[in-house]
Structures are given as C-alpha cells and as structure tokens.
C-alpha cells in the first residue's frame, strides 16, 4: 500500500475557530455522528472562503478515520483502497506556505455529537491512558467538538501539472477519472463535555505528549491536540486523455504512447478539472477505509 510518511512540516501562524454549544443541553435525537458534525463544519467553512466557490474547481472533504493524510498530488480512483501512485506528488519545495483561514460567518450549528457511533481517535487514546476518564467517556452519551488554529495549504494548479509530467504518473492516471488531492487544511481538535472545571482539575499529557487532557472529579473533561494536524483534504476531479491511448492498449504500448506524447507536449497537459459533487466524493473517499464502522461513515 502506498503510504506517504513525510507529512508536511509548515510554520503555522495561528488563528482560532471555535464551535460553540453544549451537548449536554441537546436532546439525544438532535445529535449526530462525529463525522456528520465535521461535515457540517466543512459546509460552513466552504461558505466563508473561496474553497468550493463559483471560482474554484475543488471542495473540502474530511480525512476519514484510519487513513493517512496523503500529500498534494495524490490521485485516488473510485473503488480503490489506496492511491494510484506516488509519482504525481508535488515536491515540498514547490508547495506554498500555509495561510490562515478566517472564521466561517454565521457558524451557528450545534457542535454536539453522539458517542454511540464510535469514539474519535483522541477520545480513544485518552480513555486508554487515563484510567479516571474511562468510565466517564463511556457513560456519557455525547461530547462537543471544536477546531482552532486553522490553516490552508492548497497547491497551485500549475505545480500539480508540472509534478504530473512524468511517465510513471501518466501511466497511472491517464484515461482514468481520479480524485486529485490538491491540498490540506490543518487544525487543532478539541473534544470536551464541560465549559468550566472545578478546583481539583488535573492536566496531564498523553499519547507521547501529543494530547493535553484536563479533567476533574465531577466527570468533566477536555482533550486537546497540542499542535495542528491535517484534518481535511482539498480535492478536485481530474481526467487526462492522451490521443491514441485506449482502454485496450497493452501496457508496453501504453508506456510508449505516453512517453512520446510527453516528449512532444512537455509544455502542456490536457487536464480536465472540475469540482466534485458530494456524491462523487463519497464514491472515492469512503471506499478508502472499508474497515471503518458504519456509524463513522458519512452518506453524502
């Protein structure tokens, strides 16, 4: 399986986004899954930025549980459990600096979510490492989610095209509908069930110091990541059709046709790029992790 290990190390200048609301005051019937709550956050974020606007060809999607945050230039194919190739990746030195994302306007939906659909990763880690929290997390039916320190890294289209101009990349993606990962949105995630804490509050670090856990004797807790991580992909649909290349073309002839085309058309790549529908995103993204419990999958 193609696993991209070199996560992007970017100097982040932080700006917060808070999702307000108290899950304990919401009826259980009004709450949804953790991923559905993230999807609503995405809709608000897209509405308040140029992502998924009339001027763009791309949209945001939540990176599924159990999946690595693949880098810009990663092509995904419908029904595939892994990226097609790592030969299209944009070199790190050609990626732009991450930029601050503004707070979404009119962000009013409740951030409460049900825990019965499954524990988010940071809650799972905290519950395993902090004995005092295990019973509390399991017994409580809901929690609240918020993000802060949002930054966007979105590769330029010309950088993506230049990175794709090689035999290995073209052999993998030419003549195929793909979902191209253009960029990443980083954020610090916070999950809690309390806005205030008692005087006996304890604060500890867990998960190899990646998480800060705050809790008190009454059952209140807050688990916060200590640095931003990739939370969302910026994606678009791509198709590259090369003259003379057919589905029935043999692998050897395919390589020859692609190599000849690249030599003669090195300055141009006939990319058809469009914004994927939510239904199309579902066909690509949620085929990536068939082991994800049903309750953690989002139906577009």
Within a domain: 115:
yes
At 263 the three-state DSSP class reads helix
Q: Measure the CA dihedral 207/211/214/219, to 10°.
A: -60
Within a domain: 95:
yes
What string of H, E and C letters represents the secondary structure of 8-76? CCCCCCCCCCCCCCCHHHCCHHHCECHHHHHHHHHHHHHHCCCCCCCCCCCEEEECCCCCCCCCCCEEE
pLDDT of residue 6: 33
Average pLDDT of adjacent 10-residue blocks, the chain of 300 residues: 32 25 38 79 77 73 85 90 90 92 59 79 89 79 86 92 89 90 94 84 92 91 94 93 73 77 71 88 72 44
Name, in order, each residue with C-beta under 8 angstroms of 9's C-beta and a sequence gap of 6 or more.
none
Q: State the maximum Cα–Cα separation within the chain, in Å, rounded to a whole number.
A: 73
Task: Name the DSSP letter for residue 296.
Answer: G
87: nearest Cα among 168, 8, 7: 168
Within a domain: 6:
no
Within a domain: 46:
yes
At 143 the three-state DSSP class reads strand
Within a domain: 4:
no
Total number of domains constituting the chain = 1
Within a domain: 209:
yes
Within a domain: 3:
no
Full residue range of the structural domain in which residue 173 is found: 23-296
Within a domain: 18:
no
């Amino acid at each position: 399986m193609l696993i991209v290990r070199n996560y992007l190390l970017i100097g982040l200048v932080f700006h917060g986004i808070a999702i307000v609301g108290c899950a304990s005051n919401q009826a259980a019937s009004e709450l949804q899954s953790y991923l559905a709550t993230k999807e609503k956050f995405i809709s608000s974020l897209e509405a308040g930025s140029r992502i998924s606007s009339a001027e763009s060809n791309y949209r945001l999607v939540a990176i599924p549980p159990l999946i690595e945050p693949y880098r810009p230039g990663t092509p995904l194919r419908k029904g595939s459990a892994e990226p097609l190739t790592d030969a299209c990746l944009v070199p790190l030195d050609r990626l732009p600096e991450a930029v601050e994302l503004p707070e979404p306007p009119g962000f009013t939906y409740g951030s409460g979510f049900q825990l019965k659909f499954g524990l988010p990763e940071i809650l799972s880690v905290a519950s395993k490492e902090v004995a005092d929290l295990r019973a509390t997390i399991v017994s409580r039916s809901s929690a609240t989610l918020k993000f802060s320190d949002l930054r966007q890294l979105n590769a330029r289209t010309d950088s993506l095209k230049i990175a794709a101009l090689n035999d290995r990349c073209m052999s993998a993606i030419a003549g195929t509908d793909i979902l191209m990962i253009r960029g990443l949105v980083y954020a610090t995630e916070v999950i809690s069930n309390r806005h205030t804490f008692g005087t006996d509050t304890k604060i500890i670090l867990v998960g190899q110091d990646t998480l800060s856990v705050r809790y008190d004797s009454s059952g209140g807790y807050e688990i916060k990541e200590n640095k931003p991580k990739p939370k969302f992909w910026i994606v678009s649909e791509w198709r590259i059709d090369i003259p003379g290349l057919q589905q029935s073309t043999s692998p050897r002839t395919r390589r020859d046709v692609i190599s000849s085309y690249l030599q003669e058309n090195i300055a141009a790549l006939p990319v058809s790029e469009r914004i994927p529908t939510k239904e199309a995103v579902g066909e690509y993204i949620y085929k990536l992790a068939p082991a994800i419990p049903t309750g953690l999958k989002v139906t577009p």
